[in-house]
Chains A and B, each alone.
Chain A
Amino acid sequence: MSEIIIQTENLTKKYRGRAAVNNLNLQISQGDIYGFLGPNGAGKTTTIRMLLGLIQPTEGSIRIFGRELHKDKLEILRRIGSLVEYPSYYGHLSAIDNLEAIRRILGTQKSRIDEVLEIVSLSKEARRPVKGFSLGMKQRLGIAASLLGNPELLILDEPTNGLDPSGIQEIRELIKSLPGQHGITVLISSHLLGEIEQMANTVGIISEGEMVFQDTIQNLLLQSQHDMDLVVSEPESALWLARDLGFGATGTLRAGALTFPGMQDPEVALLVKRLVENGHEIYRIEQKKKSLEDIFMRVIGEGKTG
């Protein structure tokens, strides 16, 4: 297990008694691209603001790089690059001057400005005032700014918000290349699973301020149970038979087809064998794969009820 970069314990933020973030235990290892998922208003930005010391948690602790955030805030922030919600600029300044204003505070090398502009491919527009930039260019400049201090951890809040598909593609490729090329750990939030799926190796799903899932993306897919559909000659008596075998409790009959959620291979084999023995004719057996969006909604739904 590699080094843990971010760890929160029972992180809670309450506004007037209502918990915007509730007992959140976040764990991110080095080199991860951690997708922080949740619907709008689930508490993603509130969590990120706490991680960056912009707001104080009501309860709980935050450890980043193995150090307490509230004790070593400035040392920790020095090693983090971030983009929180909409990137902001001094519109009357050029891209270079915007980065220079940040560079002066960070105290990094002047040459770093050209490097980060190159990384986000803004070198050609670097001398234009930022107020004339498109949303995608502003977003890329925001990422350039977050890379300026050679961060070990990058925290990006909805970095593809408001971008067109090609802009999203561009940012996605850029983010994917970061851990490999520079050994950076990335925390990226989004409300779109499809977007995270293509970048992240680990996901945390938050709903109404609570973490409802946190594991690798593969496990999220594995955990998703596949439905097994059977089309047989006499569905109703087949369902009774399945219930006798003990599979029927969750089985349903829909439009002439039997649907069994989350059925394992041996169970399928046993059911088919019994159906054939009892003279049923089996026309079709098909596995219905759930899309990631279905999984997402299901996980969130479970979080709400449980």
Chain B
Amino acid sequence: MRTFLRILSAESLKMSKSHLWLVTIVSPLIAMFAGFLQEQMPPEGMDPWPNLVASMSFVHGMFFLPIMAGLFSAFICRYEHTGGGWKQLLVLPVSRTAVYLAKFTVVMTLLALCQLFLLICMLFVSWSLAISYPIPWSMISISIIGGWIACMPLAALQLGVSLGWASFAAPLALNVSLTIPNMLILNSDKIGPFYPWAQPLLAMLPHGQMDFGAFNIPLESLTITILGSFTLFFTAGLVYFRRKEI
């Protein structure tokens, strides 16, 4: 545990001087425009919040969040891949499990930061539009936190792939090509619930907002997909990294 915290502290030093965190602002800003440009505001007397959360989550959850999970994973392994940094890191008295966990924690922290910015943007939009309804905290936090948790399997897989491939672009290409089909897969109530890349959006949409395709799946079945794929990807990545020849 102590070595884990030490590695985490070293990782945060490496990240602190890079400008990667700026990427976490981009998607929430785009979502903010989506929030302002909603096609139609609900008629007077209806709660505008579900609509707002849904429209701001849509592009973010469908594309940017899954893509960022891969981008951050690839990025935090890049320093080690350029110029044999793995050797320098792993000849230190650290267990590979601790290194793996620390890297995963950094990715998840960056994604949490991104979700936090999204929350701020949501509140800003509601304030600008002068929405008089009380802020539905439970709906928003399920959306924000749910989306974050749904990223865990993707981050685990991408971390595993990024650890394995020295190339920066290859893991990204894999991630993007698995994320793009979301557009089609989300329309299917058969594949959608089981496709890990579709989960961030499914978890982020307030329930009952859309009633076609995979959008009406109960939260429990999403949890099973997320938990199952996370366990699989995380274990595979860890086992691979522990055995990897550096």
A-side residues, CB < 8 A to B, are: 49, 52-56, 74-75, 77-78, 80, 82, 84-93, 97, 100-102, 104-107, 145, 149
Contacts and interface: CB of A to CB of B under 8 A. Distances in A.
Contacts of A55: 245-246
Interface in B1-47: 3, 6-7, 9-10, 13-14, 17-18
Given A85-B84, A88-B87, A102-B10, A49 B246 contact: yes
11 contacts: A56-B245, A74-B95, A80-B91, A85-B84, A85-B87, A86-B83, A89-B83, A90-B14, A97-B13, A100-B13, A105-B94
A74 B3 CA distance: 11
Interface in B50-105: 79-80, 82-85, 87-95
A92 B88 CA distance: 17
Interface size class of B (residues with CB under 8 A): 20 to 34
A85 B79 CA distance: 17
B171 to A, nearest CB: 20
Nearest to A145: B88
B94 A74 contact: yes
Nearest to A91: B82
Contacts of A88: 80, 82-85, 87-88
Contact of A84 (B17, B87, B93, B245): B87
A104 B89 CA distance: 12
B88 to A, nearest CB: 5
Residue among A52, A78, A97, A105 with most chain B CB within 10 A:
A105
B90 A54 contact: yes
Given A54-B245, A54-B246, A74-B95, A101 B90 contact: no
A102 B6 CA distance: 9
B9 A92 contact: no
A82 B84 CA distance: 13
B17 A105 contact: no
B88 A77 contact: no
A53 B91 CA distance: 7
A96 B83 CA distance: 19
B93 A78 contact: yes
Contact of B17 (A74, A87, A92): A92
Interface in B87-146: 87-95
A74 B6 CA distance: 14
A261 B13 CA distance: 63
Given A54-B245, A78-B93, A105-B6, A97 B88 contact: no
Given A54-B245, A78-B93, A101 B87 contact: no
B94 A84 contact: no
Contacts of A100: 13
Contacts of A149: 92
B88 A93 contact: no
A261 B82 CA distance: 51
Contacts of B79: 90
Contacts of A93: 13-14, 17
B91 A77 contact: yes
A145 B83 CA distance: 15
Given A97-B17, A104-B6, A104-B9, A87 B88 contact: yes
A77 B9 CA distance: 20
A18 B4 CA distance: 37
Nearest to B85: A88
In order of increasing CB-CB distance, the 5 nearest A-B pairs are A88-B83, A88-B85, A78-B93, A54-B246, A104-B10
Contacts of A82: 91
B92 A77 contact: yes
Contacts of B9: 104
Residue among B10, B17, B83, B88 with most chain A CB within 10 A:
B88
Nearest to A52: B91
Nearest to A15: B245
